[in-house]
A and B are shown apart, each in its own frame.
Chain A
Amino acid sequence: MFNSIQRFILTLSVFALFSLFYFIVIFTVNYCISEKISIAQKDILIVGDSHLRSSLNPLKMNSAINICQNAEPYYLTYLKLKFLLQKNVKPDTLIIGFGHQNLSNFNDYKLKDKFWNVGIFDKYYLLTKDIVNISNIDIDYLKLFIAYSRNMCLIPRLDHYQNFIGQFEARKENKIKENYQKRIDLHYFYKDYGISDLCISYLDSIIDISEQNQITPILLGTPVTDQYYQLIPEEIIERYALIKAEYSKEGIRVIDLTRAKYSIDYFYDSDHLNFLGAKKFSEEINFLLSGRYLSKYDI
């Protein structure tokens, strides 16, 4: 009997070794593929989270690319930008999504909580080395390691950047009837209420790295519904206004359209534009950037 079991264990061990060899080969292939990034060189680079992703259609603009990704906090935007700049991506303008939710401390949980991190690690695994170096944030290292291994060692892939880079997303459904409070709770009262100093400092870093690379940064706030805006905590609104004023003082252009009067038909939900809203918004931003139109929202 023991011969039989020994044979079984031996077979399993050899199989495990073969599997390991396969994983190493696949990792090598994926590593080589991931080193070769090809992103179109455009004058305007659009970065941010789902708000700007669903609002700013680069096709309505002159030489622009939208690489926003859902739920992307500023620290990941910074790492992504740094990564792209190292790969010789050289825009002349950087449009950065700037909404109230970007300042909330729910962003600080995105690398720790299962609700967020599973999706995030699967998109940003190529930044693993940089992610582990972010200080003052809790990270689920096991999940990060699993996501990295899963995406790099199992099957050969050509699309390592597809999720990581992101793209403009025209939203066609209408979920405007959904509870506004639900979105507010998610954005501002996720676990506890607070402002993310980490995100604010990384926003500074994004501005700094842009300027170091001769890229003009522009902060851009997308419209939200009145009902949503009224429910945003006062402290967040005040801090948002303060940051806006500080950047303006430093000569950085801030276009805040969070309070722009967009009809309800232009919204996908309480705080995202749909494809109609995106069309209107993109055209307005294009006007603003081409200098032909000075909006009252342009400060």
Chain B
Amino acid sequence: MIFNSIEFSIFLPIVFFLYWFATNKSIKLQNLLLLFSSYFFYAWWDWRFLLLIVFSSTIDYIIGLKLLSASNKSKRKLLLLTSIFINIGFLGFFKYFNFFSESFSQAFTLLGSSFQTSRLDIILPVGISFYTFQTLSYSIDVYKRKIAPTKDCIAFFSFVSFFPQLVAGPIERAVNLLPQFNQKRNFDYFKAVDGLKQILWGLFKKVVIADNCAIIVNDIFANYASYSSSTLILGAIFFAFQIYGDFSGYSDIAIGTSRLFGFQLMQNFAFPYFSRDIAEFWRRWHISLSTWFRDYLYIPLGGSRGSTNKKVRNIFIIFIVSGFWHGANWTFIIWGILNAFYFLPLLLFKTNRDNLNIAAEGKLLPTIREVLSIFSTFSLTVFAWIFFRAEDINHAISYISKIFSNSLFSIPAIFPKKIILLILIFVFIEWLGREGKYGIEKLFLFCKRSVRWLAYIILVALILYYSGKEQPFLYFQF
């Protein structure tokens, strides 16, 4: 089930009413309802892969309990490794088997010998990368004694499969989300209204911005050979807005939906395109994944401590793994490497923490220096997105080569004025709302209710107007 579907618009109110009116007397009942709703939500796509979530949850639930009783260090380590092995094993099999198989085959061919590998016809279970990392965080945190293992299997299974964030995040930590399943949830009017507003903004980003951009991006990337370089640049910029609208839109809907049920999820995007350097961009883009890698990979590797070589190594590892997490394709790895190259100078010159605040904080307009920094960071990001979007490395290289052809200053063959206007309005609203958690959080608060509501109704109208041309959420494939 996807958020911008008629099915979800029926499913959500039903679960909401059952949750607050039928099961509100008991946390256990509410958790049970959430668990069944989450499984139903997932099974709507393919019920067979539910078994995978159930199995993964069962393994980590049991390992959590075993870790509680195990005092022996090596036994604890063995239990943790079992969890990692099983979870990463599933992920590796479903997501990376064909990639490794084909890469081995190609490597042998390059060396002059033939090595035929078989390709498996595997469907990638939706959201596997997200819930695998979520459940892994539980095992690691229990192992590190950051959190006590839960004995309440309903609460734990609900935590792993919580439907708002099950298939595309934010990847929640057990430390943050699991305790919320054990607390009594009270309905809070203001939080629920805020949640609805965030859902509205998320849908606007997805349906109006991302889906409209997708149509143009798909055309330009598919027929890049017949377009001028200015059109290709426009295609790459549109993709930047597509992926941002798509993914941050999903996160907004997930966070807003959770708030309707009394849950607080972490912020996943913090206006990343207003970043003044790449380090800031990575503190603002897909925060739940970046911090996951930081806490469970980068810091255990030594982080930014130690020799320069070690720092460089750690940066490359974390960015390559991050790229690889997105998909089994060399394009994602190159995208990761490119970002590592962008990030490295900042780390080596110790300027990676220069921009910890928000651009033009407390002011309406940025300084010229800030504008230039934001523009250059955005340009670097857009360039890297070309690899992210391309079908394969050759496609990306041909696309980039075409950009640097002599038609750089020609008028783009595709120039959708309506969509460009919508993007400009969107960027303007995001800029005004950049000190909040999402674009319209505080935007209309000081207006009269009639004005505020009219603004929300126009957003609803735009979402409905542009619906019907649904594109799948990009991050479902990850």
Minimum Cβ distance to chain A for residue B207 (Å)? 12
Classify the secondary structure of B's interface with A: helix
Contact B456 A15, beta carbon cutoff 8 Å: yes
Compute how far the CA of A46 lies from the CA of B454 in the bound complex, rounded to whole angstroms: 43
Contact A173 B188, beta carbon cutoff 8 Å: no
Q: Which of A11, A18, A22, A118 contacts B468 (CB 8 A)?
A: A118
Question: Does B457 belong to the interface (CB within 8 Å)?
Answer: yes
Contact B462 A155, beta carbon cutoff 8 Å: yes
Compute how far the CA of A18 lies from the CA of B451 in the bound complex, rounded to whole angstroms: 12
Given A1-B186, A19-B460, answer yes or no on A150-B193 (Cβ-Cβ < 8 Å).
Answer: no
CB proximity to A under 8 Å, residues B265-282: none
Question: Does A4 belong to the interface (CB within 8 Å)?
Answer: yes
Contact A4 B223, beta carbon cutoff 8 Å: no
Compute how far the CA of A146 lies from the CA of B469 in the bound complex, rounded to whole angstroms: 12
Compute how far the CA of A9 lies from the CA of B453 in the bound complex, rounded to whole angstroms: 16
CB proximity to A under 8 Å, residues B188-234: 188-189, 192-193, 196, 223, 226
Given A4-B188, A8-B192, answer yes or no on A155-B453 (Cβ-Cβ < 8 Å).
Answer: no
On chain B, the residues within 8 Å of A276 by CB distance are none
Interchain pairs with CB closer than 8 A, number: 48
Contact A155 B465, beta carbon cutoff 8 Å: yes
Question: Does B150 belong to the interface (CB within 8 Å)?
Answer: no
- A2-14 contact mask (Cβ, 8 Å, vs B): 1 or 0: 0011011001100
Contact B186 A18, beta carbon cutoff 8 Å: no
Question: Does A111 belong to the interface (CB within 8 Å)?
Answer: no
Compute how far the CA of A173 lies from the CA of B469 in the bound complex, rounded to whole angstroms: 24
Q: Which of A8, A18, A122, A173 contacts B187 (CB 8 A)?
A: A8
Contact A147 B468, beta carbon cutoff 8 Å: yes
Compute how far the CA of A150 lies from the CA of B464 in the bound complex, rounded to whole angstroms: 7
Q: Which residue of B lies closest to A122 (CB)?
A: B468
Compute how far the CA of A15 lies from the CA of B454 in the bound complex, rounded to whole angstroms: 10
On chain A, the residues within 8 Å of B456 by CB distance are 15
On chain B, the residues within 8 Å of A155 by CB distance are 461-462, 465
Question: Does A127 belong to the interface (CB within 8 Å)?
Answer: no
What count of chain B residues pass the 8 Å CB interface test?
A: 24
CB proximity to B under 8 Å, residues A116-166: 118, 122, 146-147, 150, 154-155
Contact A150 B457, beta carbon cutoff 8 Å: no
- B163-203 contact mask (Cβ, 8 Å, vs A): 1 or 0: 00000000000000000000000111100110010000000
On chain B, the residues within 8 Å of A5 by CB distance are 20-21, 187, 189
Contact A11 B193, beta carbon cutoff 8 Å: yes
Question: Does A26 belong to the interface (CB within 8 Å)?
Answer: yes
Contact A150 B468, beta carbon cutoff 8 Å: yes
Q: Which of A1, A8, A150 contacts B465 (CB 8 A)?
A: A150
Compute how far the CA of A3 lies from the CA of B21 in the bound complex, rounded to whole angstroms: 12
Compute how far the CA of A5 lies from the CA of B453 in the bound complex, rounded to whole angstroms: 20
CB proximity to A under 8 Å, residues B7-21: 20-21
Q: Which residue of A lies closest to B189 (CB)?
A: A4
Compute how far the CA of A26 lies from the CA of B206 in the bound complex, rounded to whole angstroms: 24
On chain A, the residues within 8 Å of B105 by CB distance are none
On chain A, the residues within 8 Å of B226 by CB distance are 173
CB proximity to A under 8 Å, residues B412-441: none
Minimum Cβ distance to chain B for residue A148 (Å)? 12
On chain A, the residues within 8 Å of B461 by CB distance are 22-23, 26, 154-155
Given A18-B453, A18-B457, A154-B461, answer yes or no on A7-B468 (Cβ-Cβ < 8 Å).
Answer: no
Minimum Cβ distance to chain A for residue B254 (Å)? 20
Minimum Cβ distance to chain A for residue B410 (Å)? 15
Question: Does B467 belong to the interface (CB within 8 Å)?
Answer: yes
Compute how far the CA of A137 lies from the CA of B410 in the bound complex, rounded to whole angstroms: 48
On chain B, the residues within 8 Å of A4 by CB distance are 186-189
Compute how far the CA of A59 lies from the CA of B187 in the bound complex, rounded to whole angstroms: 66
On chain B, the residues within 8 Å of A146 by CB distance are 468
On chain B, the residues within 8 Å of A23 by CB distance are 461
On chain B, the residues within 8 Å of A173 by CB distance are 223, 226
Compute how far the CA of A26 lies from the CA of B193 in the bound complex, rounded to whole angstroms: 26
Residues of chain B touching chain A, judged by Cβ–Cβ distance below 8 Å, are: 20-21, 24, 186-189, 192-193, 196, 223, 226, 453-454, 456-457, 460-462, 464-465, 467-469
Given contacts A1-B24, A11-B193, A22-B461, 19 further A-B contacts (CB under 8 A): A1-B187, A4-B187, A8-B187, A8-B192, A12-B196, A15-B453, A18-B457, A19-B457, A19-B460, A22-B457, A26-B461, A118-B468, A118-B469, A122-B468, A146-B468, A150-B464, A150-B465, A154-B462, A155-B461
Rank and list the top 5 A-B pairs by shortest CB-CB distance, nearest first. A154-B461, A154-B465, A4-B189, A22-B457, A4-B187
